[in-house]
Structure 1
Amino acid sequence: MGNNLKSTHKKFKKNSKNTLYQGLDTKKKAKSSQKLSCLEELSNRLNLPADILAGAPIITATGRNEICLENYKGIIEYNGDLIKVQTKACKICIEGKHLNILYFTEDEMRITGFIQAIYYQ
């Protein structure tokens, strides 16, 4: 008795490739630019701005005489013409005249004086 049974797997796979594997693209990987970071995904789900979750510094200027700086780590330099603050991402420098730190807490400070420039290092 001869073995007349042949596997039809290869033939089935070839014939059904267009329908079975239609939703899968095995040749291309997803582009990293299209993927969302964990923080972006979480902020989208919680309807929160991503900068709050990431601890990004938030600078709120009221005219040229007052700044509220949130999410800072420490004060590096402080005098009447320059205030340099360390954040998670960078250093923030505030230049001006008669600068004064009105108050500061663990994560927020209010700076007054004549503010001429705010820049990141």
Structure 2
Amino acid sequence: MQHKFKSMHEKNKQTSNKELYSNINKNKKKEEAARKTFLETVSEQLKLPSDILVGAPIITALGRNEVCIENYKGILEYNDTYIKVLSKIGTIRIEGKHLNISYFTNDEMRITGLVSAITYITQKD
């Protein structure tokens, strides 16, 4: 009687890869959590808002006629009814009438016009 043995190499290889990649993902999540905790700790010690250190956008609405956006990455779309701005946390959409970017620098912009809505469109992981 002759026995045939199936190789378990491929199955073991797949299992090993799954374990390896899951460990890598776990380590990345731990590093991100540690980094956030570190940034929060630093911001608390310096008595600074954590948004500033993380690079989150700071949006200041002055009535309905002016919006200032700090810590943005770029302008995605721009016309007189809406302006889409890219930030670290996603897209910010300003809607209204007669919208105009009155000035902008590398990290700050001022939008004027009749603002009707500010919408945050977050990035999906």
> TM (normalized to structure 1)?
0.70
Alpha-carbon separation, structure 2, partners of 1:37 and 1:107: 25
Which residue identity is paired with 1:88? K
Q: Work out the percentage of aligned pairs sharing the same amino acid.
A: 64
Distance 2:63 2:69 in 1: 14
Counterpart in the other structure of 2:73: 73
In structure 1, runs of 5+ residues without a counterpart are 1-31
Q: Highest Rg: 1 or 2?
A: 1
Q: How many residues align?
A: 88
CA drift at 1:87: 0.2
Taking only aligned residues, the RMSD between alpha carbons, in angstroms, comes to: 1.5
Q: Per the alignment, in what secondary structure is the counterpart of residue 52 of structure 1?
A: helix
Are positions 1:106 and 2:80 aligned together?
no
Cα deviation, residue 39, structure 1: 0.8
Match of 1:44 in 2: 44
Structure 2 residue aligned with 1:116: 116
Corresponding residue for 1:56?
Answer: 56
Separation (CA, whole Å) in 1 of partners of 2:39 and 2:107: 20
After TM superposition, give the deviation of residue 46 of structure 1 in Å: 1.3
Aligned twin of 1:22: none
- Residue equivalent to 1:92: 92
- C-alpha distance in structure 2 between counterparts of 1:80 and 1:62, whole Å: 18
| 1:63-113 deviation digits (Å, cap 9, x = unpaired) | 000011000000000000010000011100000000000000000000000
Structure 1 Cα separation of the partners of residues 38 and 86 of structure 2 = 25
Residue 47 of structure 1 and its aligned partner are, at CA, apart by 1.2
Q: Which ranges of structure 2 fall in alignment gaps of 5 or more residues?
A: 1-29
**Which amino acid in structure 1 is aligned with residue 62 of structure 2?**
T
Instruction: Determine which structure has the larger helix proportion and give its number.
Output: 2
**Aligned mates of 2:84, 2:119 — CA distance in 1:** 10
Deviation string, structure 1 residues 12-35 (Cα, Å, up to 9, x no partner): xxxxxxxxxxxxxxxxxxxx9xx8
Question: What is the letter of the counterpart of residue 73 of structure 2?
Answer: K
What is aligned with 1:14?
none
